[in-house]
Homo-oligomer: A and B are copies of this chain.
Amino acid sequence: MAVTERATETQSAYLLVRRAILAGELLPGQRLVEKELSERFGVGRAAIRTALARLEQEGLVESEPFRGARVRTIGEAEAVEILEARAALEALAAHHAAQKATPEQVEALWAIHRQMEERHRGGDLLGMSELNSLLHRTLVEISGHQTAARLIEGLRAQGVRHQFHTILVPGRPQQSLEEHRRIIAAVAAHQPEEAEAAMKAHLGGVIAALKRIGRSTL
C-alpha cells in the first residue's frame, strides 16, 4: 500500500473518525457532534460532514436529520448476522483462494499459523486475535475477489467489538487453531469445496462462541 502522500482533508477525516471508532475511542451510542470532531481532529466541519455520510453508508454510524450522528450500537443478534454474512463471503473467497493459491502464498498462510500457535503457547490472546485477522485478510487477498474483499472489510469493521471477545471462551483458541489448519490444508491441496466448507465451519464456531457469551452474560 502506497504512502498517503497528499491526502485531501476529507479523506483524512474519514480515516481518522473511522479509526477512532474501531479503536473504541468513540463508543457505540456516543453522539458525534460535528464541531467537536472538527476541533478534535483538526479538520473542517465539511470534511467531518462527508466523513460521517460515508461512515453511515458503511454502517458504522447512524444519523437522523437535524439530530446528528452517533456510533451505531451493534447488539448480539446483529453481531451474529454479521458473522453469518462474513461466513458466506469468506467461504466464497476461500473457494477462489483454493483455486489460485501459489506455493509461496500457502507457505505464507502456514507461517502465520505457526506464529499463532506460538502466541497461543505464550498465552498471548491479543496477539492471537491480531494474527487471526491477518490470516483471514491474507486469504481474502489470495482469492483476488475484490468485490468480496470490499464487503468483508466492511463487515469486519462492524464486528470488531464482538469478534474480539469470542477468543476468551475457554477452549476456543485451541479449536480455532484446528479450524484454521483445516482451511489452510484445503487451500494448499487446491480443494475449493473443502476450503469453503472449512471456512463455514470455522465461522460457525465463532458464532457458537459468541452465542455462548451471550448466554453467560444474560
Interface of chain A, main secondary structure: helix
Does residue A78 face the partner (Cβ distance < 8 Å to B)? Answer: yes
Interface size on A, residues (CB 8 A): 31
Do residues B81 and A147 form an inter-chain contact, with CB atoms below 8 A? yes
Contact of A53 (CB < 8 Å), options: B53, B87, B91? B53
Min CB gap A148→B, angstroms: 5
A1-26 with Cβ < 8 A to chain B = 8, 10-11
Do residues B8 and A81 form an inter-chain contact, with CB atoms below 8 A? no
Min CB gap A2→B, angstroms: 14
Do residues A88 and B82 form an inter-chain contact, with CB atoms below 8 A? no
> Which of A54, A57, A65, A92 is the most central at the interface, judged by chain B CB atoms within 10 Å of its CB?
A57
Does residue A44 face the partner (Cβ distance < 8 Å to B)? Answer: no
Task: Determine the chain B residues whose CB is within 8 A of the CB of A65 once the complex forms.
Answer: 8, 11
Whether A85 contacts B148 in the complex (CB less than 8 A), given A53-B53, A57-B58, comes out as yes
Does residue A150 face the partner (Cβ distance < 8 Å to B)? Answer: yes
Do residues A88 and B84 form an inter-chain contact, with CB atoms below 8 A? no
